[in-house]
Structure formats: structure tokens, C-alpha cells
Amino acid sequence: MTRGITSLVTTSDGEKIANPKNFKKLYKKLRLAHKSLSRKTKGSNNYQKARLKVARIYAKIKDSRLDYTHKLTTQLIRENQMIVVEDLAVKNMVKNHKLARAISGANWAELVRQLEYKAEWYGRELVKIDRYFPSSKRCSNCGHIVEKLPLDIREWDCPECNSHHDRDINASINILTAGLAVSVCGATVRPEGRKSRRAGAKKQKASNSDARESRAVS
């Protein structure tokens, strides 16, 4: 699966799970509360009241985000024997001030953390694909890799086989394919083809060896 901002999760079967709409309302309230706080005299009773109002909104956003993430991860784990995700460097990505709030609001790191321990609880398998694997730029139909694919390009056509791709769905299909290869034989998924399994993917495996129904999420 892939993780995103507009669609929080996109799975390999084409399902897109959006971020909850209520967060926009909460962030709007937060902006207004901050604006009201900035107008108050520091140390005054009104300032303390405004500061507490800001704190309560922050707490509500945090609780709502965590609750939604718990429900989503539990659903994904219960419905699938195997989940495949990209091992994204979230801490580095939030250093980009243009994307920091959106990424933090999407709760990417917490989503994977919950998938990890819930996979153990439910006897599922979680496979992490190396962050350098070209999941978005590889055609899931013929395997051709395009040289460049800017983030603002959400759909593209393969120059080799003319397949039309939704960027996120295509990436999720490639992530699942790579995850299956890792699960079955420990194959590397780095473009260089290195032999190190650690470089190729990180894997959490449950003892369940039954036939797997799998889904990719990134």
C-alpha cells in the first residue's frame, strides 16, 4: 500500500482511503483560536483562557487522529494476511516545511507502528520495502522504469506498453509484487540488485503459514 496526503492509504486493489474531513474543521478552529490568543495580553486571565482553548483543540486533533488510525490499522490487519509498506524516512520528509503539517497530520509513522504490533497480535505478516525501490516510476504491467516522475504528476502512460496508470495504485501494485518476492524467497528489491536482504526489505513475519490473501499499502 502507499501512504499519501489526499488519500491517506491506497491499496493494490485500487481502494483509496481518504483522510477524515473533520480534521479540516478542527484545523480551522485552531487557526482562529491562535489568532484570538495572539490578541490577548500575556499573563491576563483572558490570555490564560485563550491558551487553554488552543490546548484543548490540539488535544482533540491528536485524539481524533489516533482514534482514526487505530480503526484503520485494525481493519487492514483483520482483512489481510499480509501487508506490504514502503519504509519511508518520515522524519526527514517532515523537514520540508511545505509538507510537514500535511505529513504529520496524516500520521504516517504511527500508522506503520500500529500495523507492526497488530500484525504480531493477529498473526499476520508485515513486509517493509526499501524506500529507494522505484515503486511509482515502474510500470506495473511491463516493468519499464521512467527516468522522472514529479510529485504533481498523478497519472501517466507507460512509453513502452502504453498502459495508463494512476500513480498511487501503480505504486501499490509494484510494492505488493516486491513484498511477495521478499516473503517467498527473500529477494532484494533495491534497483542495484544487491544481495543483502536487509538492504532490500525489512520484514516482520508471523508464524501463520496458511495461504495468504495480501494487500499492499504505502
What's the rounded Cα separation, in Å, for the pair 61 and 23?
7
Confidence of residue 22 (pLDDT cuts 50, 70, 90): confident
User: What pLDDT is recorded for position 26?
Assistant: 87
Q: pLDDT at residue 212 above 70?
A: no
pLDDT at 213: 53
pLDDT at 6 > cutoff 80: no
Domain spans, the chain: 2-18+81-216
Residue-level pLDDT at 211:
39
Q: To the nearest whole number, what is the mean pLDDT of the chain?
A: 81
- Nearest to residue 20, comparing CAs of 78, 60, 77? 60
Q: Which three cell numbers stand for residue 148?
A: 522522472
Residue-wise pLDDT tens digits, 55-65: 999 999 889 88
Q: Could you give the percent of the chain with pLDDT greater than 90?
A: 50
Residue 71, pLDDT > 90, answer yes
C-alpha distance from residue 168 to each of 39, 70, 153, 163, 209 (Å): 43, 23, 10, 14, 29
DSSP 55-84: HHHHHHHHHHHHHHHHHHHHHHHHH-SEEE
Which residue has better confidence, 118 or 106? 118
The yes-or-no verdict on residue 215 having pLDDT over 80 is no
More confident position, 113 or 192: 113
Report the run of H or E that residue 176 belongs to, with start and end. Answer: helix 167-185
Supply the pLDDT for residue 98. Answer: 59
Grouping H, G, I as helix, E, B as strand and the rest as coil, residue 111 is helix
What's the pTM value of the predicted model, to 2 decimals?
A: 0.74
The three-state secondary structure class of 139 is coil
pLDDT over threshold 90, residue 91: no
